[in-house]
Structure 1
């Protein structure tokens, strides 16, 4: 059985480090952060980095605050 690729977001900032779901495609991961960034920013998340298999896959994204 082959393992599916794992994509997830490293979320920085805030007091209670939120955890992103794990996704099987980069598209799904990017869609999730695109839909969730306002709620994440409201929880104090200031930056998100997309990880693939635990390694950074993209440059960090700064989330607008306020």
Structure 2
């Protein structure tokens, strides 16, 4: 059985609290996860996302990114 790395985004709202929605897809590479965020940040912003944290295997892997207002 091959275990693939799992990368996913966790999102925070204006009050800094984690959001249950939207839900990030799960990616097998950091590159794919970052590319997806670059393509979808405007949609995420319109859904109330103010910050994004990239998590690898349950541990935050990058600094928290601010999502500008769309």
Query: TM-score under structure 1 normalisation?
Result: 0.92
Gaps of 5+ in 1: none
Task: Count the aligned residue pairs.
Answer: 66
Gaps of 5+ in 2: none
Query: TM-score under structure 2 normalisation?
Result: 0.87
- Cα offset for 1:16? 5.7
Alignment equivalent of 1:58, drawn from 57, 62, 70: 62
C-alpha offsets along residues 6-57 of structure 1, whole Å, 9 cap, x if unaligned?
A: 0000011177621100000000000000000000001110000000001000
